[in-house]
Structure formats: structure tokens, C-alpha cells
Structure 1
Amino acid sequence: MKKTTKFLTVAALLATGFSGTAMADEGFSIGADVVSSYVWRGTELGDSFAIQPSLSYTFPGMGVEIGAWGSYAIEKNTASAIEGNGDYRYKEIDLYLTVPVGPASVTLTSYSLPNDTETDSFDFSSDGINTLEVSASAEFGDLSLLAAVFVGGNDYGNATYCEAGYQFYEKDGYTASAVVGAGDEDYYGDLEGKKFAVVNTGVSVSKDRYTASYIYNPDTAKSNLVFMASF
């Protein structure tokens, strides 16, 4: 889901991309990441290589950013957390608006999971393809904090998620970060009805445009090793 890639860069997913209080460059920005698999908040959503393009615009003098982010699996999944079968090539298109508020940022994200049977890109009904999330993030030196809650559309019972990332190493062009995140277990975990659980831990190491992340979900006892190249 939106910014996963940047989540990964901060530490196995701060994507991610995602956030903090530093003001982005003004004007338009485009980019793309290639990932060995798509892991979002401790859960693998696509088990093939994926291309993840992004487009954004930051308003001059305001720091307000509006943008779009997507993930397109190259092959059909052998297993899919979303569809529950292997006959599905995962794709996602997210729209977001980020507004700086004092030392933090507030983001409204529309996660969209289009498929062959539902074609309305702006269907926000309870059984539609879109989910709205409100999140807040902040950075304090090497520490990054995130809190998020689903608020509309196919809202998964208003599931919440909290995450902390910390960059603990920077030398010879390498940076390394650690992350820990917790969320509603009935959405982010193993569906056994617990209310809240640690669902995302990991370490990421980056150099230049490349990042490798080891991600472990303590609630499902599943781990992933993800490689990402950013362009």
C-alpha cells in the first residue's frame, strides 16, 4: 500500500516512502522502484518482482504534497494475501495528500486494489476497491514515528497501525535502520481475534539506490528478505 517502498528504505518499510517532517523538493517529482517482492507492514502482498512508479507535486512555499503511487506485480502470485489464490497478478494504485502540521505531517491516503470484476476507480463503498486512511508521522533526528487508521471506504473495521523506525548506522555510504510496528491483529496478523499485536519488525541496509531489508512478522511467524532498486 502507499509508500511501502519508502517504509522499506527507512527500515523494512518506512515507505513507506514515506514520511517524515523534512520538506520535499518543490514542484513535480517522478520515480520508480523495483522490488523482489511487495511487503507492506509485515505482510507480503505480492510474491513476484514488482514495479512501483510514483508521481507527486509539492506546492511551493507550503510543503503540501499530492501524489500517486502504484505497485504492479510482474507475474501472478503463487499465493496472495488479498485474493487468497494464485490466479491473480497483484496491482495497486494509491492517491495521497500530505499536509505539514507543525513538526509533523498528516496524510490522507486512498488505497485502491483494482481487479477484473470491479472497474470503478473511485468506488468508496463498503464493498468497493478503495480504502481511506489517515496517518500522522514525525521525525526526531534518527527516529521516525508513524500512526495510521482506516477511516472510510472498505475500511477493514477501522484497523490501526503504529510504527517506530531508527537509523543506527551511517558509514562509507551505507545506512542501516531498524523498525518495529504493531497493528490490529485481525487485519495485520493471523486473524485469530487478538486486538493488537507486533506485526512488523526488520532491519534495512541501503547504499546509493539499493536497499536490502529483512522483515519478520512475529504474529504470523513469517519472514521476508526484500531487495529494492530505486530510480
Structure 2
Amino acid sequence: MIFSQDTQPKTDTISVEKEKKLTLKVDFVSRYLWRGQCWGGDYFAIQPTIEYAITPKLTFGFWGTTNFKEDYFYPDGVSFYKGYQEIDFYISYQINDFLNFQIWDYYWPSVSTVDGVNNGYFYYGKDGVKTVDAILYFDFSEGYKYPFNATISTLVAGNDYRYDSNGDNPKQNFTTYVELGYTFSFFDKSSLKVLRNIELSQIVGAVLNNKAAYYNYADYDQISFCNIGIKITKEIDLGKGIAMPFSLNYIHNAATKNTELFGKNFLIATISLNY
């Protein structure tokens, strides 16, 4: 996944659906980074995913993350969360063999009660913790000469408001993020099994109109290349339908402002279990 996630979930319309409707996954990550945005500080997190294929093209899913922290303030007294938790539901429709449409409902309630923040699950107002994201995901990695992928993501509802210079007249901003990726596969035909299933992925992602400051660690007044990364992944087949990918991901946030709290460079290690 790219959202809440490094890469977007993808429905295989032929082989996977014939095998099973339910997919289970859990990621163990060294820290949670979303599109160059660091949530929950430099703390280990667990991120489960559950997907159910309603039809061969239509999938319903759940994704969550927690770092098991409850502290509200950082040691320097800055009011940012150490503890972070998020619960997302999404629906995904495979339009054709390279284009997938998704709707994500993000919910990130504060771990402690915070004045001026409404943690209501069904509340999508400007002081709430809900956002709806509409995504077009293009994936040319299967059956095409060049394994490109691309994401266009626009926030269409929820806490994504911009204000005038006086802090008045809130308007839905429709913050839009775009990303382009390319994936290399290595040693797929190697006689050494240990060298197979190795991928190298590169991405460049930018938020185009961040006037609502939804991307905290990006530029607010210009296009911001907040998510430039390279990731190497190796997958091990454990048998009985269980796979264990592990990856090392380097992310650079190239925003010119608002990166002071966590910095611009991140190295994230991930171990997953997929069924």
C-alpha cells in the first residue's frame, strides 16, 4: 500500500480470486510513515490488513495501525502525539487489468482526550478525525513491458479545510497527492532459490495543493515533493499459502518547510506475514 501504506492494495482479477476470497496480512514496521508523513514518532508499530473479495473485481478491506504508546507530549513539550492509532476501511474496484479505483475512510482518533478535537467515528467536520480519500491506482507491472505504477489521490470529505488569511470561511480543499513508481525484479529465473522474488521499487510522490495543511510535514503554499523513496523487498514462501516478505525502505521528504520535528530522511524496516 502507498496510503496509510507504502503500496496500494491491488485485486488480482484472475488467479487469486479463484483460490480464496479472504486475505489476511500483518506488517511489523520499525515506524509508521505515510506519504512522507511521520505519525507516532520513531516507534515500532503493528499494522493488520483484512481483505474480502465480494466479487472477482470488488474487494472490501480493513487496515489499522498502532504503536501502543499513550503519551500525549514529546519530551520537549511540543504538542504532537507519541501515541498514534488509525483504523481505515476501504473498498476497491478493479476497472480493468491496469486500473483500480478505491475509496478509503481514514479514522485516526487521539489516544488521549484533546480539547477541540471530536473523536466521533461518524463525524466528518473540520475539528474531526475522519477523512475520505478517492484513489485511482494504475499498475502496469503485470503483462506490460514497463512495470510502472501511478497513484492519484484526492481527499473528498472530512477534515480537509482551508481558511482565508483571517482564519475564517472554511472551505473543503480537496487536497490531491500524486505518485509515480517503477519496480525492478531480480533473479526470478535464478537456479538459487534464495535469490528469487527480490524487487527494487522507486517512487516519487508530491502533494499538489496543501493549503489545508493536511500533510503536516510538507509545504503549504507550493507543490511539495514529500515522498521520494527506494525500497528493496524479498519474499519467502513459508508454504500452506503463507508468505513472509521483508523490506528495507528509504524515504526522503524534500519539502522545504515543516520538516523540522522529524527530519527529512527515514529508514523503515518491515516484516510481513501474508495468507
Question: Is the structural similarity TM-score above 0.5?
Answer: yes
TM tier, shorter chain?
0.7 to 0.9
Q: CA separation in 2, counterparts of 1:56 and 1:222?
A: 33
3-state SS, counterpart of residue 221 of structure 2:
coil
Q: CA separation in 1, counterparts of 2:107 and 2:216?
A: 21
Which residue identity is paired with 1:120? G
Q: Pick from 48, 67, 89: which aligns with 2:83?
A: 89
Q: Pick from 231, 240, 248: which aligns with 1:212?
A: 248
Q: Relative to structure 1, is the Cα distance of residues 87 and 42 closer, same or farther in structure 2, using a 3 angstrom cutoff?
A: closer
Q: CA separation in 1, counterparts of 2:201 and 2:184?
A: 6
Q: Relative to structure 1, is the Cα distance of residues 212 and 36 closer, same or farther in structure 2, using a 3 angstrom cutoff?
A: same
Aligned-residue Cα RMSD (Å) equals 2.5
Q: Which residue of 2 aligns with 1:10?
A: none
User: Per-residue CA shift, 1:86-127, capped at 9, x if unaligned?
Assistant: 554100000111112234111111100112334422222222
Q: CA separation in 1, counterparts of 2:181 and 2:84?
A: 27
Q: Relative to structure 1, is the Cα distance of residues 28 and 3 closer, same or farther in structure 2, using a 3 angstrom cutoff?
A: farther
Q: Quick check: 1:54 aligned with 2:90?
A: no
Q: Which residue of 1 aligns with 2:156?
A: 151
Q: Relative to structure 1, is the Cα distance of residues 48 and 100 closer, same or farther in structure 2, using a 3 angstrom cutoff?
A: same
Q: Relative to structure 1, is the Cα distance of residues 2 and 128 closer, same or farther in structure 2, using a 3 angstrom cutoff?
A: farther
CA contact (8 A) 2:227 2:254 kept: yes
User: Per-residue CA shift, 1:169-202, capped at 9, x if unaligned?
Assistant: 4222321110000103444365653231211101
Q: Which residue of 2 aligns with 1:35?
A: 29
Percent identical among aligned pairs is 28
Q: Which residue of 2 aligns with 1:134?
A: 134
User: Per-residue CA shift, 1:195-223, capped at 9, x if unaligned?
Assistant: 31211101100112101000001114601
Mark the runs of 5 or more structure 2 residues left unpaired by the alignment: 142-146, 162-172, 188-194, 236-244
Q: Which residue of 1 aligns with 2:203?
A: 179
- How far apart are 1:20 and its partner, in Å? 4.5
Q: TM-score, normalised by structure 1?
A: 0.83
User: Per-residue CA shift, 1:137-159, capped at 9, x if unaligned?
Assistant: 01113111100011101124221
3-state SS, counterpart of residue 51 of structure 1:
strand
Which residue identity is paired with 2:180? A
Q: Which residue of 1 aligns with 2:268?
A: 226
Which residue identity is paired with 1:177? S
Q: TM-score, normalised by structure 2?
A: 0.71
- How far apart are 1:55 and its partner, in Å? 1.2
- The structure with more radius of gyration: 2
Q: Which residue of 2 aligns with 1:11?
A: none
Q: CA separation in 1, counterparts of 2:217 and 2:123?
A: 28
Q: Which residue of 1 aligns with 2:242?
A: none
Q: Which residue of 1 aligns with 2:105?
A: 110
- How far apart are 1:76 and its partner, in Å? 4.9
3-state SS, counterpart of residue 125 of structure 2:
coil
Q: CA separation in 2, counterparts of 1:119 and 1:78?
A: 15
Number of aligned positions between the proteins: 217
Which of structures 1 and 2 has the larger relative contact order (alpha carbons within 8 angstroms, sep 6+)?
1
Q: Relative to structure 1, is the Cα distance of residues 28 and 53 closer, same or farther in structure 2, using a 3 angstrom cutoff?
A: same
Q: Pick from 181, 189, 200: which aligns with 2:227?
A: 200
Give the stretch that moved more between structures: 32-41 or 120-129: 120-129
Q: CA separation in 2, counterparts of 1:54 and 1:150?
A: 22
Which residue identity is paired with 1:167? T
Structure with the larger strand share: 1
Q: CA separation in 2, counterparts of 1:2 and 1:120?
A: 26
